[in-house]
Amino acid sequence: MIELSYSEAAMLAVRHEMEADARVVVLGEDVGRGGIFGQYKGLQETFGSERVIDTPISEAAIMGAGVGMALAGLRPVVEMRVVDFALCGMDELVNQAAKNRFMFGGQGRVPLVARMPGGIWDASAAQHSQSLEAWFAHLPGVVVVCPSTPQDNYSLMRAALRCGDPVVYIEHKTLWGARGLVDPSLEIPLGKSAHVRRGNALTMVSWSRQMHACIAACDALAAEGIDVDLIDLRTLWPWDREAVLASCERTGRLLVVHEAVQAAGFGAEIAATAAEATGCRVARLGAPRIPVGYAPVLEAQSRVSAEQIAQAARTLRG
């Protein structure tokens, strides 16, 4: 076990995969100097500029080149800097990477990892603070990953780089400095959730940075004698239906919490599936349908706090 930050854990995962597989390459803006969050620190010095490739400022070109590399047999890590900028490369991802295997009968595969840091970035306003994971979960042909801890960021990054299909890998912008113990030998398969806390009062499901607010809410609820069954999905597609539905069967109540706008968020898919399969009571908690403001008082309106989560749990429990 070693203590690493969220950023260091991801960098180490990419390094280990590059050492193990010469097909793994990195391309994107500023990756040669380590990336804006330090997530590629030291990789170009080790592997050279032919495997850690600095690109022009064109997300469409970066994503398009990554798709071509993948079809040619490489396993590229495609750096989008933040998910907001990835919108400039959506055609290459949505109409090419996601559909190639299906449209050509499996003759081509696109094993790329598109890194798109998401979520509210402190004092960064509406164009740099979006949570768009539901867009990609809606897209047939891609895997969607949202790690919440350094361990998950290490193990899931390695799993994503070994996946034969395109992976949209959404790390939270404000978790880069979060530290934790990492076991480099621990393998976590895509699609497997983590059971963070055990309880029978209700089931709570979340992912990414919002998990940390959920943990704080669960601590407050435990002091009131309300024990929550807390599940970190980690992967949104495929998501761990078996674990979530088993918990809902036992507790009879489900609260899904996410940082993304609640309207049409991925929480609706989880809630509907659980209600249809188990008949449990369901509730969702997400951000209001507003752009994230720059001023702290406006930004706070888009955040889902531990206090709000605890209150939603109390209301659901009745």
Domains of the chain: 2-182 (3.40.50.970), 194-317 (3.40.50.920)
User: What is the separation of C-alpha 313 from the centre of its chain, rounded to a whole number of angstroms?
Assistant: 24
Sheet order of strands, 143-145 included: 52-54, 24-28, 75-79, 113-115, 167-169, 143-145, 235-237
State the Cα–Cα distance between residues 32 and 55, nearest whole angstrom.
Answer: 9
pLDDT of residue 123: 86
Which residues have CB under 8 Å from 224's CB, separation 6+?
Answer: none
Q: Yes or no: say if 145 and 236 are a contact pair by the CB < 8 Å rule.
A: yes
pLDDT of residue 4: 98
- Judged against a pLDDT cut of 90, whether residue 210 lies above it is answered with yes
From 16, 128, 172, 258, active-site residue: 128
Q: If DSSP codes are grouped into helix, strand and coil, which group holds residue 296?
A: helix
State the Cα–Cα distance between residues 163 and 14, nearest whole angstrom.
Answer: 14
What pLDDT, in 10s, does the model give residues 243-300?
A: 999 999 999 999 999 999 999 999 999 999 999 999 999 999 999 999 999 999 999 9
- Judged against a pLDDT cut of 90, whether residue 318 lies above it is answered with no
User: What is the separation of C-alpha 246 from the centre of its chain, rounded to a whole number of angstroms?
Assistant: 23
User: What is the separation of C-alpha 60 from the centre of its chain, rounded to a whole number of angstroms?
Assistant: 21
> What is the helix, strand, coil percentage profile of the chain, to 5?
40, 20, 40
pTM of the model: 0.95
Beta pairing, strands 194-197 & 228-232: antiparallel
Provide the terminal-to-terminal Cα distance of the chain, rounded to the nearest Å: 42
State the Cα–Cα distance between residues 58 and 92, nearest whole angstrom.
Answer: 12
Q: Yes or no: say if 217 and 244 are a contact pair by the CB < 8 Å rule.
A: no
What pLDDT, in 10s, does the model give residues 28-70?
A: 999 999 998 999 999 999 999 999 999 999 999 999 999 999 9
16 assigned to active site: no
HEC sequence for 11-76: HHHHHHHHHHCCCEEEEECCCCCCCCCCCCCCHHHHHCCCCEEECCCCHHHHHHHHHHHHHCCCEE
User: What is the separation of C-alpha 4 from the centre of its chain, rounded to a whole number of angstroms?
Assistant: 18
Q: For a pLDDT cut of 70, what percent of the chain falls above it? A: 100
State the Cα–Cα distance between residues 285 and 261, nearest whole angstrom.
Answer: 9
Mean pLDDT, the chain, integer: 97
What pLDDT, in 10s, does the model give residues 149-204?
A: 999 999 999 999 999 999 999 999 999 999 999 999 999 999 999 999 999 999 99
Q: Yes or no: say if 166 and 114 are a contact pair by the CB < 8 Å rule.
A: yes
State the Cα–Cα distance between residues 52 and 60, nearest whole angstrom.
Answer: 18
State the Cα–Cα distance between residues 156 and 153, nearest whole angstrom.
Answer: 6
Q: For a pLDDT cut of 90, what percent of the chain falls above it? A: 98
State the Cα–Cα distance between residues 134 and 304, nearest whole angstrom.
Answer: 17
Confidence of residue 233 (pLDDT cuts 50, 70, 90): very high
